[in-house]
Structure 1
Amino acid sequence: MARRTSYTAGTPNWVDLTTSDLAGAQAFYGAVFGWSTREVMPGFYSYFVDDDGAIVAGLAELNETQIARGMPPSWSMYVSVDDVAATADRARELGGTVVFGPEAIEETGALAAVADPQGAVVLLWQPAPFAGAEVVNGPGLWSWNDLQTPDPEVASPFYEALFGWTTAAIPGADGVYRTIGHEGRNIGGIMRAPAGVAHPYWTVYIGVAELDATLERIGAAGGQTLVEPMAVPAGRFAVTMDPQNAILCLVESHEYDD
């Protein structure tokens, strides 16, 4: 698989895990997906890398400020932008909130975290020069994202205006799910959150070749299956939780058969 060196503005480009136990997360994701880690900011940030040495995601430990705010272990999604400060300002104009930044990361890029009007947080990334995940969309790789929110139709306009996305209701879904399109292809979805979800959030999906076998590895490594495998037009998916309680979705797609 060819390695990516760039993402156009408005394209999701990176995911990372912020956790309460670095060693535990390294062991779990190594056992489940075969990932190893490469420290890039000593004591602060590492990359998950696959068997070929390609960068697939990020890993950081919850800091004192995040813990004080009650932030749980979680996966986050980033979207590539040309100007992080201007995009953060635009998020404010659209009714969102700037949660963090913008802040420059030396010799890497600049980031900010913004919350949509319903409170779901997405991160903005301006590459300089780090573009994001080097490989995507395959087994053991980041492959999809969904926004879990009480009202997909209400949430959609914010993202359409901020990133230039298009969203469309799935026929027959009764408003439960909308696809997200960008530059002629589907890149994610917006889903009506199940009852009991108190706060909207973005979910990260990792592709797998064999969903049932992956769920067995997750259980053996100390994780849990929260939603058993379900069939969708693209294949099957499941929702899991790692040992530190970060939610991670899996998707077994027909596109991975090759």
Structure 2
Amino acid sequence: MMPHDSTHGIGTPFWIETLQPNVSEAVEFYGQLFGWTVDDPGADDSVLVARLDGRRVAGIAQAPDAVPATWLIHVRVDDTDASIAEAQAAGGSCLLPSLERGSGGRVAILADPSGIPFCVNDGQSAKGVEVAGETNTWSMASLHSPDGRASQRFYGALFDWELHEVSGAPFSRWSLDGHTIGLLSDAGDAPAHWAVNIAISDADTTAALAVSLGGTVVLEPFDTESHRNVVVADPAGAVLACSAAVD
């Protein structure tokens, strides 16, 4: 599994956040599933900060009305409003206009030409994850797209991402300035989405625990060459991929 690039430069995915209809239920679920604790955000921010051993790992926020529970990646940009215009010019759309975030900067939810949502954030003071690639933290972002060429054009135009084929693998690799920042694979029969992947120690244990906490198993544990994986959904339906490295 590739580690997430934690430099948080412009064009880099730097934060993950789940939108939830019931924030307290989500806090309870992820606290027991991954051992996360949650900060009080204070009066100036509506996003709860989840931590593992005191380090920032994710955000948990109230979903706007009629928005289903989901996980989103955040990409750092120079100017959120400019990114909205650039995304629209490249065939994407704006799902939620830019909003001031208490932690600094403006945040917007965009969609690529296939309708896959993601966030942009121009706050240089906005804090990203403090740890990635370790057990119970964000490990990878993978775009499951119905049109790889359209995705390559869009994200290349918006963020200067480059796409590289991986010999013998069913996915390609996104890079920025020579650093790997994610993957691209064919969505196939699955819904198109940005998959947030969490590193775990045991896929079967995670699957059983998710169910016991009121979640569901979307994709039963399965093996790849280097990992045992499972896809789960929390009680509100937000989907999360989880992978355990195989020795």
TM-score using structure 1 length = 0.85
8 Å CA contact 1:152–1:191 kept in 2: the answer is yes
- Structure 1 residues 102, 136: CA separation in 2 closer, same or farther (over 3 Å shift)? same
Aligned pair partner of 1:116 in 112, 116, 131:
112
- Structure 1 residues 196, 34: CA separation in 2 closer, same or farther (over 3 Å shift)? closer
Aligned pair partner of 1:152 in 141, 148, 153:
148
8 Å CA contact 1:180–1:189 kept in 2: the answer is yes
For residues 95-174 of structure 1, the aligned pairs below 5 Å read 95-172=91-168
8 Å CA contact 2:80–2:106 kept in 1: the answer is yes
Aligned pair partner of 2:174 in 170, 180, 185:
180
Aligned pair partner of 1:243 in 210, 227, 235:
235
Q: Does 2:217 match 1:225?
A: yes
8 Å CA contact 2:174–2:183 kept in 1: the answer is yes
The separation in 2 between residues aligned to 1:122 and 1:62, in whole angstroms, is: 14
| CA deviation after TM superposition for structure 1 residue 104, in Å | 2.5
Unaligned segments of structure 1, at least 5 residues? none
Equivalent position SS for 1:136: coil
| CA deviation after TM superposition for structure 1 residue 41, in Å | 4.6
Identity %: 29
Q: What letter corresponds to residue 232 of structure 2 in structure 1?
A: T
Equivalent position SS for 2:127: coil
The separation in 1 between residues aligned to 2:166 and 2:149, in whole angstroms, is: 12
Q: Deviations over 1:49-77 (max 9, x none)?
A: 11x2111111112233xx1xxx2111111
1:216 corresponds to which residue?
A: 208
Q: What letter corresponds to residue 178 of structure 1 in structure 2?
A: S
Unaligned segments of structure 2, at least 5 residues? none
8 Å CA contact 1:152–1:177 kept in 2: the answer is no
1:194 corresponds to which residue?
A: 188
CA RMSD of aligned residues (A): 2.2
Q: Deviations over 1:109-135 (max 9, x none)?
A: 221222111111111011241231121
- In the alignment of these two chains, the number of paired residues is 242
Equivalent position SS for 1:77: strand
2:46 corresponds to which residue?
A: 44
1:78 corresponds to which residue?
A: 74
Is the deviation greater in 108-117 or in 239-248? 108-117
8 Å CA contact 2:106–2:123 kept in 1: the answer is yes
The separation in 2 between residues aligned to 1:250 and 1:169, in whole angstroms, is: 23
Is the deviation greater in 97-106 or in 52-61? 97-106
Equivalent position SS for 1:127: coil
The separation in 2 between residues aligned to 1:101 and 1:10, in whole angstroms, is: 19
Is the deviation greater in 139-148 or in 180-189? 180-189
| CA deviation after TM superposition for structure 1 residue 246, in Å | 0.8
Q: What letter corresponds to residue 152 of structure 1 in structure 2?
A: G
8 Å CA contact 1:107–1:128 kept in 2: the answer is no
